[in-house]
Structure 1
Amino acid sequence: MTRTPTILATSGGFARDARDNLRPAGLAKLALRLTGADRPKLCFLPTASGDNVSYVQLTYAAFAGWSVDVSHLSLFPMPNVEDVRAHVLAQDVLWVGGGSVAGLLAMWRLHGLDDVMREAWEAGVVLAGVSAGSICWHAGGPTDSFGPRLRAVTDGLALLPYGNGVHYDSEEERRVVLHRMVADGVLPTSYATDDGAGLLYRGTELAAVHAERDGARGYVVDAVGGEAKESVLTAEPV
């Protein structure tokens, strides 16, 4: 692969249909388009949910009939593939599900996936995901990994040298905590997304904000004079 290193960090990607089945929404479709492949290979990583089997099954079912070759990488109780590195590097897109970002980071480091993810990113594999699968690529962000009261995770993979906030419009405390963390210097300049919005990075630079839902937006939060300053980033529809 020779593509520019690409990350799509989202608070969306999938939706429920009238029968409550999981279906790819605009941001997941965008992740596939970013690969440039006619039939992309997508690997789903459910680490943040403790490799929840139902989550894996729903994801396979979501792509039924699509021109996509879907696989998954589980780490509990042991990796489900013989060579984790080879499997990851053979993909066009990696989609990381939501859950505990702290647990995800611990498990990835235990299995050496932190280094593999950087290698995949540099090779042009599109890295994407939702919630924990958004925060993980950044320096860190507010998380409920430790309990209902949000705390900071500051040991993200830091492929992107920013903080990250997710579910910005649906969970009120997220905005408050991110502002405090940036103002206090716990997190660097940070980017955040409403539900249904995604941040597209080319290399380490933010290239665009995309939305699969009307009104969903992105934000950047900087520290100015010891206080947090938030600016709205207009989202392009997908």
Structure 2
Amino acid sequence: MSLPLTLISHTLCPYVQRAAIVLDEKNVPFERIHVDLGNKPDWFRAASPLGKVPLLKVGEDRYLFESAPIVEYLDETQPGKLHPQDPTERAKHRAYVEFASQILNGIGALYNARDNTGFQAATEALRTKFSHLEEHVDMDGPFFAGASFSLVDAAFGPVFRYFDVLEGFTDLGVFDGLDRVRRWRQQLSQRPSVIGAVTEDYPGLLREFLRRRESWMSHLLDLAERGERIVAMQ
């Protein structure tokens, strides 16, 4: 009998969310352990050579690290394939999982921008990436490649979740006119696996994280809490 899987997590990590979504989509029971990345325990340092989450514990002392190989492992070993069978389509999906990672980097650039100039540049860069997606998301939906939920959808659920919080205090405008992307985002926001990938206090935790950045976004959050609201793309 195989040992239960354990997902080593952090409350805000979007890459952890990918693995949690895939585990839920496949109805795989698992334990979830949260670690404090500011005070990493010794066992975590030994198990994670990059010092990052997620980790997936697959045996008494066997750990997988990095989200992409973790979700690929889950797709290969658990019933219910989320990757396409066709090799060309599968390669395309892998590329768009990486594209999601690049958008996450762009979101990091957005919330770390020190001034409005950097903030506007990061916003425009995100807009460009989502405009590209508009041409590649399935026209009829509801998911990236049509009727079937895929690893690309698992990667983008956490991406869109950021904007659910950010749009609460600033008008970024990155999805304006992008009807396919907006429909896809809405579908993912209602998916039980996406909803359940974070705790109920996620929005508040993310806002507190943003407040501590002392960045332009921190400034916008402060303004919003005082009753002012700024449109990002002008």
TM-score normalized by the length of structure 1: 0.33
Structure 1 or 2: more helix by fraction: 2
Question: Higher strand share goes to which structure?
Answer: 1
Q: TM-score, normalising length from structure 2?
A: 0.33
